[in-house]
Amino acid sequence: MKAVRLHRYGSPDLLQLEEIDSPAPGAHEVLVCVHAACVHPGDWMIVTGRPYAVRLLFGPFRPWKSIPGFDLAGRVEAVGRNVTEFTPGDEIFGYCYAPCAEYACVAEDKLVRKPDRLTFEEAAAVALNGCVALTAIRDRAKAKPGQKVLINGASGGVGTFAVQMAKSRGAEVTGVCSGGNAELVRSIGADRVIDYTREDFTAAEERYDFILDNAGSHSLAELRRTLAPGGIAVPNNSSSGSRWIGNFAQVASAVMLSFFLPKQGRPFVGLPNKERLTAVRDLIECGEVTPVIDRTYPLSETSEAIAYVGNGHSRGNVVVTV
């Protein structure tokens, strides 16, 4: 099969399209014929090995995760002997560690059936960003009617899901993005849009019940000052910061401060699982959430897709078609 592979840290140009053996599913795995995969800022971090702290997780000298991507959509090709939920031919989407290839093996509990209303390209963009947004809005914010929610970085992959989810729960949603993305953020449900190039929301008088900071453009103290009584601010950015530790210092500070300051929300990990994937799919099927796609690239141009994501200005999600 064809697969995009990386053999050492460096520029996305080092990614190569190669012929490798197709994987065989384990007992609890599904072999998926991949139609589309989604790439993220995390892929850029793994490919470049920056911040250098990433190498503690993915290998000190070269990445053990040699095939990029985290999300996929496609059709079931074969199933492991203990798989009961899926059969060959089923259209699915989900989460795995090597989707930028013609075939991928995925754990059964990391897959759900694809909604009929989505294309494979749209479905490929759902798993990781959708589940992170769900964790933030449903579990951390517990968004509800009358609540004021601010999404900093509202036009990104997580942000576009978070705006729609907060709006679906009846919250009053403010999205922060560049002026060029303002119309997009309004179109997906934001009640108000702040152009960060013209206005600093932390310096204004408006107060919010929940702030999700995907951009990492403000200090934790600035975010807390922008909260209403009883509100919380949660940082959700890992791609900014220094070349050595990235945003780890802010994440660590948020964790420690959350034990002492009620307004400081703790960072979270909202990785896809069956319950979250099913909940996001239900929102999509009832028309309350639709994935936003910025650009699509063919598999042979995965390096260009990851380079584009790495510039930090993608609108919604970036998808690779197989």
Per-residue confidence (pLDDT) for residue 245, from 0 to 100: 53
Entry field: residues in the chain: 322
Per-residue confidence (pLDDT) for residue 247, from 0 to 100: 64
Per-residue confidence (pLDDT) for residue 262, from 0 to 100: 86
With beta carbons less than 8 A apart as the criterion, state whether 143 and 165 touch.
yes
Per-residue confidence (pLDDT) for residue 212, from 0 to 100: 97
- For 267, half-sphere exposure in the C-beta direction (CA atoms, 13 angstrom radius) is 19
Dist. CA 244–CA 189, nearest whole Å: 37
pTM over 0.85: yes
How far, in whole angstroms, is CA 202 from its chain's centroid? 25
Per-residue confidence (pLDDT) for residue 52, from 0 to 100: 83
User: Among 192, 219, 197, which Cα is nearest to 208's?
Assistant: 192
Which regions in the chain score pLDDT beneath 70? Answer: 238-249
* Beta carbons within 10 angstroms of residue 134's beta carbon: 23
Dist. CA 200–CA 177, nearest whole Å: 11
Per-residue confidence (pLDDT) for residue 216, from 0 to 100: 85
Beta strands in 45-110 (DSSP E): 71-79, 91-95, 103-107
Domains parsed from the chain with CATH numbers = 2-126+291-321 (3.90.180.10), 129-257 (3.40.50.720)
The long-range contacts involving 48-52, CB below 8 angstroms and separated by at least 24 positions, are 48/9, 48/10, 48/11, 48/12, 48/310, 49/9, 49/10, 50/243, 50/246, 51/241, 51/242, 51/243, 51/244, 51/245, 51/246, 51/248, 52/243, 52/244, 52/245
Per-residue confidence (pLDDT) for residue 244, from 0 to 100: 53
For the stretch 240-262, pLDDT in tens is 555 655 566 677 787 787 788 88
